Amino acid sequence: MKVTEVKIFSVNEERLKAYVTITIEACFVVRDLKIIQGPGGLFVAMPSKKRKDGQFRDIAHPLNQETREKLEDQIFEAYENELRSMGATLVNLKRQKAPQSYQSDD
């Protein structure tokens, strides 16, 4: 799998820092990934939907850790580039793993 495009839409709210859209192999788009500031640093949350019981469930996500890490690396690189283009810098890009509430139980 090759991610051919990453688009960053900065929002800079307290926790939500950006929405992300990725294109896979120039033929498949995934929207509404999020860069979130968690207690241990930034993480990428996959697109999710709120269930009737109030829990969130990912509607699209990597099936293994290697793919997740590749995806996150590309997203964080694009986020850093977006910050630089706006004249900001991210001095220390501290990353954390996504909390369980944002990961699917599949």
Q: Which CATH number covers residue 57? A: 3.30.1120.40
Structurally, the chain folds into a number of domains equal to 1
Within a domain: 97:
no
Domain coverage including residue 35: 3-90
Residue 8 has pLDDT above 70, yes or no: yes
CB burial of 78-99 (b: ≥16 within 10 Å; e: otherwise) equals bbeebbeeeeeeeeeeeeebbe
The mean pLDDT of 44-73, rounded to a whole number, is: 94
12: confidence class by pLDDT, cuts 50, 70, 90? confident
Which structure tokens are listed for 25?
Answer: 């192999």
The mean pLDDT of 77-103, rounded to a whole number, is: 68
Q: Which amino acid is at 85?
A: S
Coil, strand or helix at 85: helix
The mean pLDDT of 11-21, rounded to a whole number, is: 92
Q: Tell me the pLDDT tens digit for each residue of 28-52.
A: 999 999 999 988 889 999 999 999 9
Q: In angstroms, what CA-CA distances link 77 with 44, 70, 106?
A: 12, 11, 28
